[in-house]
């Protein structure tokens, strides 16, 4: 099963045929996003001049997606991930550890084009649908 990162979902919302094809090929495999990704996509749509079109595109994809909540175990793991990465000299923002932790806690493969953001996270499985 896959956890879709914000960048991949954004490509889909903007109509990227390659990513939409991957969504379709995933078929009955559940497509999951974190509540953080939901927030980031909604914020991106609201600040965009073409928000009506993007909102409609998102709403057309939304039935294929399930949102996973940010809960205590995810927050705990995210804090550990960020602390470990920073102690090793890898700077990572506050959002990416939450997404990575969601994938790890739910034993999911994170689908992202931003693999460099996540490549140093132990136990995280990655897949790039844009490569």
Give the domain ranges of the chain: 2-127
Among 3.30.420.40, 1.10.10.10, 3.40.50.300, 3.40.50.1010, name the CATH number for the domain at 2-127.
3.40.50.1010
Asked if residues 111 and 29 have their Cβ atoms less than 8 Å apart, the reply is no
pLDDT at 113: 96
Alpha-carbon span 109 to 4, nearest angstrom: 8
pLDDT at 91: 87
pLDDT at 43: 93
Per-residue pLDDT of the chain (131 residues; tens, 9 = 90+): 899 999 999 999 998 989 988 888 877 777 899 999 999 999 999 898 778 888 998 998 888 889 999 999 999 999 999 999 999 999 888 999 999 999 999 999 999 999 999 999 999 999 999 88
DSSP secondary-structure letter at 64?
G
pLDDT at 114: 92
């Amino acid at each position: 099963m896959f956890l879709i990162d914000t960048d991949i979902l954004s490509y889909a919302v903007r109509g990227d045929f390659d990513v939409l094809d991957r969504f379709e090929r995933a078929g009955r495999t559940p497509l999951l996003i974190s509540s953080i990704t939901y927030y980031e996509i909604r914020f991106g749509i609201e600040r965009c001049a073409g928000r009506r079109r993007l909102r409609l595109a998102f709403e057309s994809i939304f039935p294929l997606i399930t949102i996973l909540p940010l809960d205590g175990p995810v927050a705990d793991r995210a804090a550990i991930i960020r602390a470990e990465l920073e102690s090793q000299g890898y700077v990572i923002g506050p959002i990416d550890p939450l997404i990575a932790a969601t994938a790890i806690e739910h034993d999911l493969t994170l689908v992202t084009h931003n693999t460099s953001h996540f490549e140093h996270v132990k136990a995280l499985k990655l897949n790039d649908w844009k490569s």
